[in-house]
A and B are shown apart, each in its own frame.
Chain A
Amino acid sequence: MNLRRKKLWMTVTLAVLAAAVILIPAPALAANPIERFVMVEASQYAFTPATLHANPGDTVTIELHSADVAHGIYVEGYGVSAEAQPGQPVAFTFVVTESGVFRLRCSITCGALHPFMLGRLTVGPNWTLARAAALAGLAVLAAPLAVRRETA
């Protein structure tokens, strides 16, 4: 096999692998959906607990308590939110469907670092990160091909 043909095969192989990384669906979890109740305390500038865990299909109820000033919680990817004054907790419920990591953001201006008051909702394994790392690896493997092709 000449060099050019070899490079072509390597390029095609990497492209197929990249397509597979992007397109192959994540394996479904065997765990049965459950109801989860989480009490989240918001204070400048963090949610406690900082990371919530759930599995796809779970029904999650978040009870938000504000410890200092008024805070809100907005669940990225699901678009649900609630706002709580100190001493007046609020609860809301939603069903998580997609796996991945979603940011929890404070939705009421609460101080200097308000735009960066974040938490995380982790739903099942973080397949997005795994896919992203695999794509980065493939990109690094593809680099020598691009260089050789130019200098050939």
Chain B
Amino acid sequence: MNRVSLLQIPWLKAALKNRWPQFTISALLMAGFVFAIVAGLVGTPVGSRNFGIIAVWIAWWAILILAVVPVTGRGWCSVCPIPMAGDFLQRRSLLGPNGGRTRGLNLRLPKLFRNIWWQNAAFALMAIFSAAILTNPRVTALALIIMLVAAIGMSAVFERRSFCKSVCPVGGFIGLYSQVAPLELRVADAAACASCASKACYNGSEAGYGCPWGTFPAGLTRNPACGLCLECLRSCPNDNIVLNLRPFAADLEKPAARLDEAFKAFLMLGAALVYAAVFLGPWGNLKVAALAAGTWPWLGYAAAFLLICLALLPGLFWVAVRLAKRMAPAKPHTARRHDFAQAAAALVPLGLAFWAAFSLSFVFANGSYLLNVLSDPLGWGWDLFGTAGAVWSPLYGSWTVAVQVGVLALGAFGAARVAQRAGARGGLHPLPVSGYSLALTVVMMGLLL
């Protein structure tokens, strides 16, 4: 399969090896992150007039799900401000490498945490409160503070970026969907790594920090394990790291049969469907139930959300996979759990397409609020750029619908293609999984169009 190494471009390689560009972006994002918290705490409680809500859930979200994840995979993790403070506590250095020395308790993360089940739980927890998080600046600020404090706390106790790898609810789905991205960091020659005495990429050196994600690059075969922090590029003594352009969804050619990742895929798929109904549907009672955290209607909503994501969708998929096994001409002996988890790889491109299509619906309709909050970020009556009084005008039209249809059709195509390939390897007929994906796509289209 064709790969093109981007590091053949000299200026790009120099820019990526230099810590300043990455640090500058992270520092600017940290300033925005802190300001979003401040705006959430002291600014107007009206979400559509508060920087915290509009910057995070309109601007950042649109850029993340419509561009950064599909194109770069974990590109956001590369510049995310959340681990900055924890990194500094561990390294006692903002930029210059310290020869691999680290501070803090530096404990190895317990085995119980070495998976993405905790990220799934963190995402599910945020998801059932999403109506409040998305619309109430105070709640958004609280969510951001919790993430920051958790990241710092875990850095003080555990080694490397434990929060990012095992708890961050955002990192979990970015990792899942990074498998679709046409960008990968790998080693050029694994034999060179095997004979490398220092393993500086993992252990750290005078040239760079040891991998914050605890990954040994020579063993890297899938994007979720790499946070694209680029430290290995800086520390490798053999100049053996490559950053490749590759075909879309290349990681899904040989999918990992992991149940935690499979349930992440169901959570994301279910959340996109439920959100499309709650936020874009005409049902007012559903919206009110989702918003009224702690009430009986909300409990019903939360229970329905979890049932759809963790029981209904996986249950129907289980039936589809059993059918796929029966229909397959050759039936290699594999565990049912393995078949289920491996086949769920088809839901990765599908889920990303659902989220992109869902986001197009509300991001462009509400994008003009950016003009208001840029001039009056706290809702205190300022007019910094003369746009505080800009009238709401949706940037939404037939072109949005056309793009949504194209994205959803592409998602169904990607799912069927992965089902075809994974099915050929795992002894599963592709038809039931493709049919499942198509049926969900039509349901999503019904909610969006």
Contacts and interface: CB of A to CB of B under 8 A. Distances in A.
The finding on whether chains A and B are genuine partners in a shared complex, rather than unrelated, reads yes
Q: What size tier do the contact residues of chain B reach?
A: 35 or more
Interface stretch (A30-38, A55-63, A84-92, A126-134): A126-134
B279 interface: yes
B47 A116 contact: no
A115 B365 contact: yes
A48 B446 CA distance: 20
Interface of A is mostly: mixed
A116 B394 contact: no
A115 B48 contact: yes
B49 A135 contact: no
A147 B397 contact: no
A139 B47 contact: no
B287 A147 contact: no
Contacts of A131: 405
Interface in A71-124: 74, 76-77, 101, 103-105, 107, 109, 112-120
A47 to B, nearest CB: 7
Interface string B286-318: 011001000000000000000000000000000
Interface in B48-73: 48-49
Interface residues of A, number: 43
Contacts of A144: 416, 420, 430
Contact of B420 (A45, A119, A138, A143): A143
Contact of B408 (A50, A119, A136): A136
B428 interface: no
Nearest to B404: A132
Interface in B395-433: 396-398, 401, 405, 408-410, 412-417, 419-421, 424, 430
A51 B282 contact: yes
Contact of A129 (B288, B397, B445): B445
Interface in B123-141: 131-132, 135-136
A116 B2 CA distance: 44
Residue picked from B47, B291, B409, B414, most chain A C-beta under 10 Å = B409
Contacts of B285: 46
Interface of A: 43-48, 50-51, 74, 76-77, 101, 103-105, 107, 109, 112-120, 126, 128-129, 131-133, 135-140, 142-144, 146-147
Interface of B: 46-49, 131-132, 135-136, 278-285, 287-288, 291, 362, 365-366, 369, 392, 394, 396-398, 401, 405, 408-410, 412-417, 419-421, 424, 430, 434, 437-438, 441-442, 445-446, 449
10 contacts: A50-B284, A77-B397, A105-B365, A115-B369, A128-B405, A132-B449, A139-B412, A140-B416, A143-B414, A144-B430
